[in-house]
Structure 1
Amino acid sequence: MSVNIEPFNVTAVETPVTVGIDFGTLSGRAVVVSVADGTQLAEAVHEYRHAVLDRTLPDGTTELAPDWALQVPDDWRDVLRNAVPKALALAGVTPDQVIGIGTDFTACTVLPTTAEGVPLCELPGLAGRPHAYPKLWRHHAAQPQADRINALAADLGEPWLARYGGKISSEWEYAKALQLLEEDPELYAAADRWIEAADWIVWELTGAESRNLCTAGYKGIHQDGARPGREYLAALNPGFADFTAKLDHPLSPLGAQAGTLTARAAAMTGIIEGTPVSVGNVDAHVTNAAARALDPGHMLAIMGTSTCHILNSDVLAEVPGMCGVVRDGVVPGLWGYEAGQSGVGDIFAWAARVAAPESYAEEARTRGLSLHELLTEKAAEQPVGGHGLVALDWHSGNRSTLVDHHLSGLVLGLTLDTRPEEIYRALLEATAFGTRVIVEAFEQGGVPVGEFTVAGGLPKNRFLMQIYSDVLRRPINVIGSEQGPALGSAIHAAVAAGAYPDIRTASTAMGRINLAVHTPDHDRADVYDRLFAEYRELHDHFGRGGSDAMHRLRALRDAALTDRTEDDQ
């Protein structure tokens, strides 16, 4: 249901604009956008002071176990305090021109709060408790809980499981909450609310809790108006029986108005109190409107540290290994499908950090290039298959279609002659192969994929995008904005303010897309077909039961680290 609020009087504002705020993994950005045609007037970025907590808490002494990834809520407030006023100043607009505010967030980034929305990590005495902090989307330490959630649901024939491709991810709400209960039951009891950051930031802006249909459906196991039943949850853990009470709240449709800006939020942002705020959304899903990728069969890949694949369809089907399918999950009237890859840009960053020697770094500095640019340049000089390598893109586990975050990366074919740029290229290709697995899973599951569009930071790498076009044998469209999620949030804000009747109309007016920017070369594609066959063999061998070596190695690592910690104590 939506909040019953009168539409903003858009016609009374001269040259109206909206503000879109995108909360990413390492930073938040604000854009000021013309409501008339989506022209971006200004943008501002604010880096999170604490970035990602994956080794210690802010105190610098409380260590975190492997696979943990946390964030600090005040870093998000700093985006409101800094990026929004700066973007407004750069745009040269006055606060009265802002008719609406929209936000989006990484997901599933979820946090425990009090009934008033105060994060537990901000309460006296709790700053040293890891479970009091928001768990970032790439927090993968709840895999054992996810395994139990999936096994029990399969045994009991829970009807919602098929809507998630047969497996709930360790990244999603229920697995992370079950980990909280089992590792810090006192904090679990203190958490009145378990809420997506996408909804929490709207709470900060409006002063009232709201919940969006998107995160509830994809991350919170909400299907056909219901969540998992009490008996099922109790079977997982008796203390988990009433978990759904921490989530329960009326759900608002996308593009609706969640409320209006409070005096406190107005002071932070420099925007007038009472300005409409749209319902929260996920960074990937909101980008579809920015890229005009709302029609059935139009897949959008949002490529950054990870990749999310969003596809609308008028067909409801069970696609193994997808992240979820939700009615009206992206745009009203269609089934919205989500799939994804847990590591993409993160893998390239790892390769640049680990595989490139100092001589490469020195060459990059001398030539005024980034290490990524140098490695890409050298990799582009190779013929397809010339490195003799094939890699698996599982450094952060596999989100789709295997849904297993205890899988790990692999590079096969290394010799004493293998060069850093060859490893780098093999990893670029591996992520393209992972996307092809996802596209083929949808098509084999009866959900056609027609157009393919990319957004995010990685499409700037034209060589990478040519690899994707060749591997997929498809033309690739590119979003016409470098700030796709923020533009998408600004579009939703325009709908919430009443400037447009619906998301589709606003997307047509304000969205941006460049068609067929990259087209496949069929000779290269033929060779990539052969490489993909090798990738698929390794994918199925290590991911579908041929070898459990990756899981055993992880268990051996965890045991060794646990023993070392106990010895230190």
Structure 2
Amino acid sequence: MPPNATPGPGTGSAALPGTGQVAGAVIGVDIGTSSSKGVLVGPDGALLRTAVREHAPDRPGPGMFEMDADVWWREFTELARELTAEAGALGLKVAAVGVSGMGPCVLLTDEHDTPLRPAILYGVDTRSVDQIERIERHLGPARIIARCGSALSTQAAGPKIAWIAEREPDVYRRARRLYMPSSWLVRRLTGNYLLDHHSASQCTPLYDTTALDWYAPWAAEVAPGIELPPLAWSGEPAGEVTPEGARATGLPAGIPVITGTVDAWAEALSVGAQGTGDLMLMYGTTMFLIHTVPEPLTSPSLWGTVGALPGTRNLAGGMATSGAVTNWLRDLFAAGDHAELVRLAAESGIGANGLLMLPYFAGERTPLMDPDARGVIAGLTLSHTRGDLYRAALEATAFGVRHNLEVLAAAGGDIRRVVAVGGGTQGALWTQIVSDVTGLAQEVRTTSIGASYGGALLAAGLLGEVSVDAWNPVREVVSPRPEHTRRYDELYRLYRGLYVDTSATVHALAGLQSR
């Protein structure tokens, strides 16, 4: 159910009129790239408890990122048990469950729902370049964009299914079903097999964004033999926790579970960024941008998708790394946490004492769509410090955001409000740099934990009317500083030129890395 909507079917009478409260607590769990996060949220939207389980993707080869579905379920059960116990200690009953996860991912199972191999992750996994080229030659790039809203890229699920069919035919012969993290949790909790419309719209070229349904002719060519799941909207009920699911998780049997969606879209819902003209910036392991548009827009350099809520459309972008680079630097410097590096980066100042970074450490998704792009650090001298390097990484992300926004505007986007969310909003420096580089103000809500909170918000919508403004009001607005924006303009021009000037070299190096 959309936030601010009227109560839906079932237990709508559980709403507390005029308060935005629902009867009972809700749990939201998100399966992310580097961790699974769970939240326990009270009837008024208050964040009562959080819980985290850290993990790391497997990297079996160059450009490959995978994860075992057993990790998803094991960590969900641990988080659910911990948060359900916390609810009991507070005298609350868990009344509904929200789920989300990174995506689009490709987990193939047999007819008994036994995973046949680890899941292939979203656009950070770049193994399907050959399949993209083959499918494009066969179907035609213009036809794919017209029907599916997006060009084929390493973000798309379809070519990854084709990769398994071509490279692992013995596995594929047994494959019958397609799951993503959120739909896998739904299956284990409720016994039902379904997927949300938004996740399906990232399964290019299997989904028709005009018909809002799977496109059978192309699905039969790209994913033959796969029983594609029935579709529902993210906030709609997927079913109820079964007795088996209750025994595994500690959740009460019979409570509703939402259909769920991809983490970035759940993040947008958590901060109310789903109105026409809204732009969500997600500060996480990757930087994600979601712009809600009044009618379908397409761009070969961005992703046109259906939204998480009925009747909504998005033009979206995603960088392959952002927080991943700062984490890399933290580990490289053996720093205990980010706080000291953020302090040093603030002292470094605009331009990082003459350093410029390209943040393409895992290739780049939008708007370059270049899996062979690589990170570059230009201007290094013996006098540069940890703070300079960390500052250069933060500025590189901001330049990448600006690049995406320019492409979005060229495609017809009209940004009227920017809302920031994610772990990177906790310190003031990163969001301030992005506002200074882009010239745009950003709202930061009281709760910025993101997708798990968005899942909890949608779960509460199954119980009664919920207002995102009441649950999660604006905490602050980060405004750009014009004098800083002018200084960043020149650095941004250098940033754009650096990719062009170094691309031949880094592409050759990427070829050496894949040998």
Q: Which residue of 2 aligns with 1:119?
A: 115
CA change 1:398–1:242 in 2 (3 A) is closer
Aligned counterparts of 2:46 and 2:118: Cα–Cα separation in 1 = 37
Aligned counterparts of 2:62 and 2:439: Cα–Cα separation in 1 = 38
**2:513 is the counterpart of 1:513:** no
| 1:408 pairs with one of 350, 374, 383 | 374
Q: Which residue of 2 aligns with 1:236?
A: none
**2:503 is the counterpart of 1:556:** no
Q: Which residue of 2 aligns with 1:208?
A: 192
Equivalent residues of 1:18, 1:490 under 8 A apart = yes
| Secondary structure of 1:246 counterpart | coil
Per-residue deviation, 1:467 = 0.8
CA change 1:147–1:398 in 2 (3 A) is farther
Q: Which residue of 1 aligns with 2:81?
A: 85
Of structures 1 and 2, the one with the larger relative CO (CA 8 A, separation 6+) is 2
Equivalent residues of 2:27, 2:97 under 8 A apart = yes
Q: Which residue of 2 aligns with 1:103?
A: 99
Aligned counterparts of 1:11 and 1:161: Cα–Cα separation in 2 = 41
Per-residue deviation, 1:159 = 4.8
Aligned counterparts of 1:392 and 1:12: Cα–Cα separation in 2 = 49
| Secondary structure of 2:514 counterpart | helix
CA change 1:423–1:6 in 2 (3 A) is closer
Aligned counterparts of 2:302 and 2:224: Cα–Cα separation in 1 = 23
Q: C-alpha offsets along residues 183-231 of structure 1, whole Å, 9 cap, x if unaligned?
A: 111101111112222211111110121111110012344122355664x
CA change 1:180–1:424 in 2 (3 A) is same
Q: Which residue of 1 aligns with 2:149?
A: 163
Equivalent residues of 1:202, 1:279 under 8 A apart = yes
| Secondary structure of 2:63 counterpart | coil
Aligned counterparts of 2:164 and 2:349: Cα–Cα separation in 1 = 49
Aligned counterparts of 2:156 and 2:469: Cα–Cα separation in 1 = 32
CA change 1:534–1:229 in 2 (3 A) is farther
Aligned counterparts of 1:202 and 1:38: Cα–Cα separation in 2 = 23
Equivalent residues of 1:215, 1:281 under 8 A apart = yes
CA change 1:172–1:303 in 2 (3 A) is same
For normalisation by structure 1, the TM-score amounts to 0.82
Structure 2 unaligned spans of 5+: 1-7, 17-21
The correspondence of residues 428-447 of structure 1 with structure 2, limited to 5 A, is: 428-447=394-413
| Secondary structure of 2:67 counterpart | coil
Per-residue deviation, 1:247 = 4.9
Equivalent residues of 2:330, 2:337 under 8 A apart = yes
Aligned counterparts of 2:343 and 2:89: Cα–Cα separation in 1 = 41
Q: Which residue of 1 aligns with 2:443?
A: 477
Aligned counterparts of 1:350 and 1:12: Cα–Cα separation in 2 = 45
Equivalent residues of 1:195, 1:247 under 8 A apart = no
Aligned counterparts of 2:352 and 2:25: Cα–Cα separation in 1 = 51
The correspondence of residues 349-498 of structure 1 with structure 2, limited to 5 A, is: 349-354=327-332, 356=333, 361=334, 370=336, 372-385=338-351, 387-495=353-461, 497-498=462-463
Q: Which residue of 2 aligns with 1:335?
A: 313
Q: C-alpha offsets along residues 485-508 of structure 1, whole Å, 9 cap, x if unaligned?
A: 11110111122x2413xxxx5434
Per-residue deviation, 1:458 = 1.1
Aligned counterparts of 1:309 and 1:88: Cα–Cα separation in 2 = 33
Per-residue deviation, 1:380 = 1.4
Larger Rg: 1
CA change 1:385–1:449 in 2 (3 A) is same
Per-residue deviation, 1:156 = 7.0
Identity score, percent = 27
| 1:254 pairs with one of 234, 245, 255 | 234
| Secondary structure of 2:149 counterpart | helix
Q: Which residue of 2 aligns with 1:348?
A: 326
CA change 1:266–1:155 in 2 (3 A) is closer
**Aligned AA (1:204):** R
Per-residue deviation, 1:394 = 0.6
Aligned counterparts of 1:532 and 1:524: Cα–Cα separation in 2 = 12
Aligned counterparts of 2:141 and 2:430: Cα–Cα separation in 1 = 42
CA change 1:288–1:133 in 2 (3 A) is same
Aligned counterparts of 2:233 and 2:340: Cα–Cα separation in 1 = 45
Runs of 4 or more, structure 1, over 6 Å off, are none
**Aligned AA (1:38):** G
| 2:290 pairs with one of 291, 310, 313 | 310
Q: C-alpha offsets along residues 514-562 of structure 1, whole Å, 9 cap, x if unaligned?
A: 241x2222221111011001111223455xxxx4332222122222xxx
CA change 1:532–1:72 in 2 (3 A) is same
Equivalent residues of 1:145, 1:170 under 8 A apart = no
Per-residue deviation, 1:281 = 0.9
Q: C-alpha offsets along residues 238-295 of structure 1, whole Å, 9 cap, x if unaligned?
A: xx72615515232112211111111111112222211111112111101222102121
Equivalent residues of 1:324, 1:339 under 8 A apart = no
C-alpha RMSD of matched pairs (Å): 2.5
CA change 1:159–1:470 in 2 (3 A) is closer
| 2:51 pairs with one of 30, 44, 51 | 44
Q: Which residue of 1 aligns with 2:132?
A: 146
